[in-house]
Amino acid sequence: MTLLRGDALSAAFDRGSAAYDRLVAASPGYHAHLRRSARRLGLAEEGRGLNVLDLGCGTGASTAALLTTAPHARITGVDASGGMLDRAKAKSGLSSVDFVHAPVEELADRLRPGSFDAVFAGYLFRNLGDPDKTLDLVRNLLVPGGRLAVHDYTLSGSTVHRAVWNAVCTVIIQPAGRLAGDAELYRHLRDSVTRFDTAPAFAQRLSRAGFADVRVSPLPGWQTGITHTFTARTPAGAGVGP
C-alpha cells in the first residue's frame, strides 16, 4: 500500500473523525500514555504563562493531556484535518485553546519564530512526507532551551515488538477500522509505523536536527517497545534562524 500523504491523509482523517475518539478509547492506556508523555515535558511547576504548541492535535486528546499536566499554559492546537479539529473544538474542556487549521508545511508563514516554550507532537512525524523539514520548523518555533516531546508509535527494532504490532493491527485495529468504514486510514496506520524509523533511529534524527538532551522513554502495557516518548531541547544558546 502507498502511504497516505498531504491532502489525501487529511481527507481520510476528515472521514474518520466521527468514529476516531471511540476507536482510540478502546485501546488500553491510550489517554494515560498521552498524559504520561505530556508530563515528560516537565511543565507542571512552570506552566503558568508558557506558550505550548500541540502539533497534530487531532480531536484534542493530546491537548487534554497537556491541560491536565499544565492547566495554566497557553496552548495552540494545530491540525491539517478540519474534521478532527471540529471534534476538538466541540469539547468543552478545550474552550481555552486556540486552534489553527493548517498543514505543518504552512506554519512557517503563520507562526512567529521563537514564540513557543514547548512543543508536543503526538502521532505526527511518521505521517509526514518530510519529517526533517518539520523538525527544523519546530526548532525555529521554540525559544532557546525550549522543550520538545514526541509521542508516537516507533518500534524498538525488536522482531518481537514488530510481530506484536502486526498482530494487534491484523486482529483488532484494522477490523475495527473496517467496521467504522475507515479501512484505508487504518491500513495506513499499520504501514506508517512499520515503514517509519525505529525508536533509536528517530532519536538520531532528532540529534541530527540540532536538538540536545535527546531521551527515549518507553510506555507501559501492550505498547511497550511499540510506543515511545522522545524528549529533547533546543540548545540554550541557540538563536532563531534557518
Q: Which domains does the chain show, CATH number per domain? A: 28-156+196-233 (3.40.50.150)
- The owner of cell 506484536 is 164
- The owner of cell 519529517 is 131
Please return the burial class of 234, using the count of CB atoms within 10 Å of its CB with bins 0-12, 13-18 and 19+: buried
Q: pLDDT per residue over 115-170, tens digit each?
A: 999 999 999 999 999 999 999 999 999 999 999 999 999 999 999 999 999 999 99
Mapped onto helix, strand or coil, the DSSP state of residue 26 is: coil
- Retrieve residue 41's grid coordinates: 515535558
Please return the burial class of 28, using the count of CB atoms within 10 Å of its CB with bins 0-12, 13-18 and 19+: exposed
For residue 180, the model assigns a pLDDT of 86
CA distance 119 to 41: 9
Identify the segments of the chain with pLDDT beneath 70.
1, 45-47, 237-242
For residue 45, the model assigns a pLDDT of 65
For residue 46, the model assigns a pLDDT of 64
**How many CB atoms sit inside 10 A of residue 173's CB?**
19
Nearest to 162 by CA among 127, 199, 136: 199
For residue 242, the model assigns a pLDDT of 41
Nearest to 231 by CA among 209, 210, 216: 216
The total number of residues shown for the chain amounts to 242
**Global pTM?**
0.94
